Structure 1
Amino acid sequence: MKFVIQRVDSASVKVEGKVVGSIGKGFLVFIGVGQGDTEEEADKYLKKLLGLRIFEDEQGKTNLSLADVEGQLLLISQFTLYANCRKGNRPSFIEAGDPKLAEGLYEYLVKKAREQVSVVETGIFGAHMEVSLVNHGPFTILLENL
Protein backbone atom coordinates (compact mmCIF):
# COMPACT_ATOMS: atom_id res chain seq x y z
CA MET A 1 0.00 0.00 0.00
CA LYS A 2 1.13 3.54 -0.71
CA PHE A 3 -0.29 6.89 0.37
CA VAL A 4 0.73 10.26 -1.05
CA ILE A 5 -0.50 12.80 1.48
CA GLN A 6 -0.77 16.48 0.71
CA ARG A 7 -1.63 19.00 3.40
CA VAL A 8 -4.12 21.32 1.73
CA ASP A 9 -6.12 24.46 2.33
CA SER A 10 -8.66 23.06 -0.15
CA ALA A 11 -8.99 20.28 -2.71
CA SER A 12 -11.60 18.93 -5.08
CA VAL A 13 -12.08 16.20 -7.64
CA LYS A 14 -14.18 16.25 -10.81
CA VAL A 15 -15.46 13.38 -12.92
CA GLU A 16 -16.89 14.24 -16.33
CA GLY A 17 -16.83 17.94 -15.42
CA LYS A 18 -18.85 17.48 -12.22
CA VAL A 19 -17.36 17.99 -8.74
CA VAL A 20 -17.80 14.69 -6.88
CA GLY A 21 -15.71 15.52 -3.81
CA SER A 22 -14.48 18.73 -2.20
CA ILE A 23 -12.80 19.64 1.10
CA GLY A 24 -11.41 22.60 2.95
CA LYS A 25 -8.40 22.37 5.26
CA GLY A 26 -7.11 18.84 5.61
CA PHE A 27 -5.42 16.07 3.66
CA LEU A 28 -5.70 15.10 0.03
CA VAL A 29 -4.61 11.47 -0.04
CA PHE A 30 -3.79 9.47 -3.16
CA ILE A 31 -4.11 5.76 -2.32
CA GLY A 32 -2.35 2.99 -4.18
CA VAL A 33 -3.16 -0.63 -3.42
CA GLY A 34 -0.54 -3.24 -4.22
CA GLN A 35 -0.71 -6.99 -4.73
CA GLY A 36 -1.30 -8.83 -1.48
CA ASP A 37 -2.41 -5.78 0.53
CA THR A 38 -4.84 -6.53 3.36
CA GLU A 39 -7.36 -4.83 5.63
CA GLU A 40 -4.84 -5.10 8.47
CA GLU A 41 -2.33 -3.13 6.39
CA ALA A 42 -5.03 -0.61 5.48
CA ASP A 43 -5.77 -0.16 9.21
CA LYS A 44 -2.09 0.52 9.89
CA TYR A 45 -1.89 3.12 7.11
CA LEU A 46 -5.07 4.86 8.25
CA LYS A 47 -3.85 4.98 11.84
CA LYS A 48 -0.56 6.54 10.70
CA LEU A 49 -2.38 9.02 8.44
CA LEU A 50 -4.73 10.19 11.16
CA GLY A 51 -1.91 10.42 13.70
CA LEU A 52 0.42 12.53 11.55
CA ARG A 53 1.18 15.80 13.27
CA ILE A 54 1.91 18.02 10.28
CA PHE A 55 -0.31 21.02 10.92
CA GLU A 56 1.24 24.08 12.52
CA ASP A 57 0.60 25.01 16.15
CA GLU A 58 0.60 28.54 17.59
CA GLN A 59 4.42 28.61 17.49
CA GLY A 60 4.53 27.60 13.81
CA LYS A 61 5.81 24.08 14.55
CA THR A 62 4.30 21.06 12.80
CA ASN A 63 2.75 19.60 15.91
CA LEU A 64 -1.00 19.20 15.28
CA SER A 65 -2.94 16.27 13.82
CA LEU A 66 -5.92 16.27 11.50
CA ALA A 67 -8.26 15.92 14.49
CA ASP A 68 -6.55 18.80 16.31
CA VAL A 69 -7.40 21.19 13.45
CA GLU A 70 -10.79 19.60 12.68
CA GLY A 71 -9.43 18.78 9.24
CA GLN A 72 -11.13 17.00 6.37
CA LEU A 73 -10.08 14.17 4.05
CA LEU A 74 -10.28 13.75 0.29
CA LEU A 75 -9.37 10.15 -0.61
CA ILE A 76 -8.49 9.36 -4.22
CA SER A 77 -7.66 5.89 -5.57
CA GLN A 78 -4.56 5.93 -7.77
CA PHE A 79 -3.09 2.69 -9.09
CA THR A 80 -0.36 4.65 -10.89
CA LEU A 81 1.47 4.95 -7.56
CA TYR A 82 2.68 1.45 -8.41
CA ALA A 83 4.24 2.48 -11.72
CA ASN A 84 7.55 0.72 -12.24
CA CYS A 85 9.79 2.78 -14.51
CA ARG A 86 13.05 0.87 -14.05
CA LYS A 87 13.05 -0.64 -17.54
CA GLY A 88 12.29 1.37 -20.65
CA ASN A 89 10.12 4.45 -20.81
CA ARG A 90 6.68 2.92 -20.55
CA PRO A 91 5.67 2.28 -16.93
CA SER A 92 4.65 -1.20 -15.85
CA PHE A 93 1.82 -1.59 -13.36
CA ILE A 94 2.16 -5.28 -12.55
CA GLU A 95 2.82 -4.48 -8.87
CA ALA A 96 -0.56 -2.75 -8.54
CA GLY A 97 -3.30 -4.74 -6.87
CA ASP A 98 -6.03 -6.48 -8.84
CA PRO A 99 -8.84 -3.94 -9.44
CA LYS A 100 -11.36 -5.91 -7.34
CA LEU A 101 -8.92 -6.14 -4.42
CA ALA A 102 -7.96 -2.49 -4.81
CA GLU A 103 -11.55 -1.26 -4.94
CA GLY A 104 -12.48 -3.34 -1.90
CA LEU A 105 -9.59 -2.01 0.16
CA TYR A 106 -10.21 1.56 -1.02
CA GLU A 107 -13.87 1.32 0.04
CA TYR A 108 -12.77 -0.26 3.33
CA LEU A 109 -10.42 2.68 3.98
CA VAL A 110 -13.17 5.19 3.18
CA LYS A 111 -15.58 3.44 5.56
CA LYS A 112 -13.01 3.30 8.37
CA ALA A 113 -12.00 6.94 7.82
CA ARG A 114 -15.64 8.06 8.03
CA GLU A 115 -15.87 6.42 11.46
CA GLN A 116 -13.16 8.79 12.73
CA VAL A 117 -13.27 11.96 10.61
CA SER A 118 -16.37 14.14 10.25
CA VAL A 119 -15.80 15.06 6.58
CA VAL A 120 -14.46 12.41 4.20
CA GLU A 121 -14.92 13.00 0.49
CA THR A 122 -13.84 10.71 -2.36
CA GLY A 123 -13.27 10.43 -6.04
CA ILE A 124 -14.80 7.59 -8.05
CA PHE A 125 -12.79 4.38 -8.20
CA GLY A 126 -11.50 3.68 -11.69
CA ALA A 127 -12.82 6.92 -13.19
CA HIS A 128 -10.80 9.51 -15.06
CA MET A 129 -10.55 12.28 -12.47
CA GLU A 130 -9.41 15.89 -12.46
CA VAL A 131 -7.95 16.79 -9.07
CA SER A 132 -7.40 20.38 -7.96
CA LEU A 133 -5.71 21.49 -4.77
CA VAL A 134 -4.16 24.33 -2.86
CA ASN A 135 -1.19 22.66 -1.19
CA HIS A 136 -0.35 24.34 2.12
CA GLY A 137 3.40 24.63 2.46
CA PRO A 138 3.74 22.79 0.14
CA PHE A 139 3.73 19.79 2.38
CA THR A 140 3.68 16.32 0.78
CA ILE A 141 4.48 12.99 2.43
CA LEU A 142 4.83 9.51 0.95
CA LEU A 143 3.81 6.62 3.18
CA GLU A 144 4.98 3.20 2.06
CA ASN A 145 6.52 0.06 3.52
CA LEU A 146 5.02 0.60 6.99
Structure 2
Amino acid sequence: MTDNVEYLAWNNFVQGSYPPAPSLSKVRHAAAIANLYMGAANNGGINSFLTVTPELNTNDVLDALLEMNMIETAAQFKAVIVGLGQHLVASSSDERWRILEERWTDEMDYLDGLTPEADAELMRLLEAHVSEHEEYYAAMNRP
Protein backbone atom coordinates (compact mmCIF):
# COMPACT_ATOMS: atom_id res chain seq x y z
CA MET A 1 0.00 0.00 0.00
CA THR A 2 1.71 3.09 -1.20
CA ASP A 3 -0.37 6.25 -1.27
CA ASN A 4 -2.14 8.00 1.59
CA VAL A 5 -5.64 6.98 0.51
CA GLU A 6 -4.64 3.31 0.37
CA TYR A 7 -2.96 3.61 3.76
CA LEU A 8 -5.98 5.39 5.27
CA ALA A 9 -8.40 2.85 3.79
CA TRP A 10 -6.37 -0.09 5.14
CA ASN A 11 -6.00 1.43 8.61
CA ASN A 12 -9.69 2.30 8.78
CA PHE A 13 -10.59 -1.22 7.70
CA VAL A 14 -8.29 -2.93 10.20
CA GLN A 15 -9.19 -0.65 13.10
CA GLY A 16 -12.81 0.11 12.31
CA SER A 17 -14.43 -3.11 11.20
CA TYR A 18 -15.25 -4.34 14.68
CA PRO A 19 -17.86 -5.29 15.54
CA PRO A 20 -18.93 -6.62 12.17
CA ALA A 21 -22.30 -4.94 11.80
CA PRO A 22 -24.95 -7.14 10.18
CA SER A 23 -26.15 -4.01 8.38
CA LEU A 24 -23.03 -4.07 6.22
CA SER A 25 -23.22 -5.56 2.76
CA LYS A 26 -22.61 -9.31 2.72
CA VAL A 27 -19.05 -8.97 1.46
CA ARG A 28 -18.13 -6.17 3.90
CA HIS A 29 -19.61 -8.15 6.77
CA ALA A 30 -17.58 -11.19 5.67
CA ALA A 31 -14.44 -9.03 5.36
CA ALA A 32 -14.97 -7.65 8.88
CA ILE A 33 -15.19 -11.18 10.27
CA ALA A 34 -12.10 -12.27 8.29
CA ASN A 35 -10.26 -9.21 9.62
CA LEU A 36 -11.14 -10.17 13.21
CA TYR A 37 -10.04 -13.72 12.49
CA MET A 38 -6.71 -12.62 11.05
CA GLY A 39 -5.99 -10.23 13.92
CA ALA A 40 -6.85 -12.58 16.77
CA ALA A 41 -5.36 -15.68 15.14
CA ASN A 42 -2.08 -13.82 14.58
CA ASN A 43 -2.07 -12.41 18.12
CA GLY A 44 -2.83 -15.47 20.17
CA GLY A 45 -4.04 -18.23 17.89
CA ILE A 46 -7.35 -19.58 16.70
CA ASN A 47 -8.28 -20.63 20.24
CA SER A 48 -7.78 -16.97 21.21
CA PHE A 49 -10.00 -15.86 18.32
CA LEU A 50 -12.75 -18.19 19.51
CA THR A 51 -12.33 -16.89 23.06
CA VAL A 52 -12.43 -13.16 22.27
CA THR A 53 -15.34 -13.39 19.81
CA PRO A 54 -18.04 -15.33 21.69
CA GLU A 55 -20.70 -13.30 19.86
CA LEU A 56 -19.75 -15.01 16.58
CA ASN A 57 -20.80 -18.55 15.86
CA THR A 58 -18.29 -20.70 14.03
CA ASN A 59 -20.67 -21.43 11.16
CA ASP A 60 -20.88 -17.69 10.38
CA VAL A 61 -17.10 -17.39 10.55
CA LEU A 62 -16.65 -20.32 8.18
CA ASP A 63 -19.25 -18.84 5.80
CA ALA A 64 -17.47 -15.47 5.90
CA LEU A 65 -14.11 -17.02 5.04
CA LEU A 66 -15.69 -18.89 2.13
CA GLU A 67 -17.53 -15.71 0.99
CA MET A 68 -14.11 -14.04 0.80
CA ASN A 69 -12.79 -17.04 -1.21
CA MET A 70 -10.31 -17.88 1.56
CA ILE A 71 -10.21 -21.58 0.80
CA GLU A 72 -7.01 -22.47 2.68
CA THR A 73 -8.04 -20.42 5.70
CA ALA A 74 -11.54 -21.92 5.75
CA ALA A 75 -10.11 -25.45 5.53
CA GLN A 76 -7.87 -24.79 8.52
CA PHE A 77 -10.77 -23.29 10.50
CA LYS A 78 -13.00 -26.22 9.59
CA ALA A 79 -10.36 -28.60 10.96
CA VAL A 80 -10.62 -26.73 14.27
CA ILE A 81 -14.43 -27.11 14.25
CA VAL A 82 -14.08 -30.82 13.50
CA GLY A 83 -11.56 -31.12 16.34
CA LEU A 84 -14.02 -29.44 18.70
CA GLY A 85 -16.68 -31.89 17.59
CA GLN A 86 -19.30 -29.22 16.92
CA HIS A 87 -19.95 -25.71 15.70
CA LEU A 88 -19.90 -23.16 18.49
CA VAL A 89 -22.96 -20.96 18.77
CA ALA A 90 -22.90 -17.30 19.80
CA SER A 91 -22.69 -17.20 23.57
CA SER A 92 -21.34 -15.33 26.55
CA SER A 93 -17.62 -15.12 27.25
CA ASP A 94 -18.00 -17.46 30.22
CA GLU A 95 -19.89 -20.04 28.19
CA ARG A 96 -17.37 -19.90 25.31
CA TRP A 97 -14.47 -20.33 27.76
CA ARG A 98 -16.22 -23.31 29.35
CA ILE A 99 -16.79 -25.01 26.01
CA LEU A 100 -13.23 -24.43 24.83
CA GLU A 101 -11.78 -25.66 28.12
CA GLU A 102 -13.89 -28.79 27.77
CA ARG A 103 -13.33 -29.48 24.05
CA TRP A 104 -9.92 -28.06 23.06
CA THR A 105 -7.47 -30.92 23.49
CA ASP A 106 -3.68 -30.91 23.54
CA GLU A 107 -3.83 -32.82 20.25
CA MET A 108 -5.47 -29.76 18.66
CA ASP A 109 -2.65 -27.39 19.57
CA TYR A 110 -1.03 -27.86 16.16
CA LEU A 111 -4.16 -26.21 14.66
CA ASP A 112 -3.92 -23.13 16.87
CA GLY A 113 -1.67 -20.97 14.67
CA LEU A 114 -2.37 -19.90 11.12
CA THR A 115 -0.49 -21.85 8.52
CA PRO A 116 1.82 -19.69 6.38
CA GLU A 117 -0.52 -20.34 3.44
CA ALA A 118 -3.64 -19.26 5.38
CA ASP A 119 -1.86 -16.19 6.73
CA ALA A 120 -0.72 -15.14 3.24
CA GLU A 121 -4.18 -15.82 1.80
CA LEU A 122 -5.90 -13.70 4.46
CA MET A 123 -3.57 -10.77 3.89
CA ARG A 124 -3.70 -10.98 0.09
CA LEU A 125 -7.47 -11.23 -0.14
CA LEU A 126 -8.19 -8.64 2.54
CA GLU A 127 -5.82 -6.18 0.84
CA ALA A 128 -7.59 -6.86 -2.47
CA HIS A 129 -10.97 -6.31 -0.79
CA VAL A 130 -9.90 -2.99 0.73
CA SER A 131 -8.40 -1.89 -2.57
CA GLU A 132 -11.67 -2.72 -4.35
CA HIS A 133 -13.66 -0.78 -1.71
CA GLU A 134 -11.02 1.88 -1.07
CA GLU A 135 -13.35 4.87 -1.22
CA TYR A 136 -15.72 3.31 1.33
CA TYR A 137 -12.96 2.42 3.81
CA ALA A 138 -11.07 5.69 3.33
CA ALA A 139 -14.24 7.57 4.30
CA MET A 140 -14.90 5.45 7.41
CA ASN A 141 -14.86 7.21 10.76
CA ARG A 142 -14.87 10.68 9.26
CA PRO A 143 -17.02 13.30 10.99
Q: Normalising to structure 1: TM-score of the pair?
A: 0.27
Higher strand share: 1
Higher helix share: 2
Q: Normalising to structure 2: TM-score of the pair?
A: 0.28
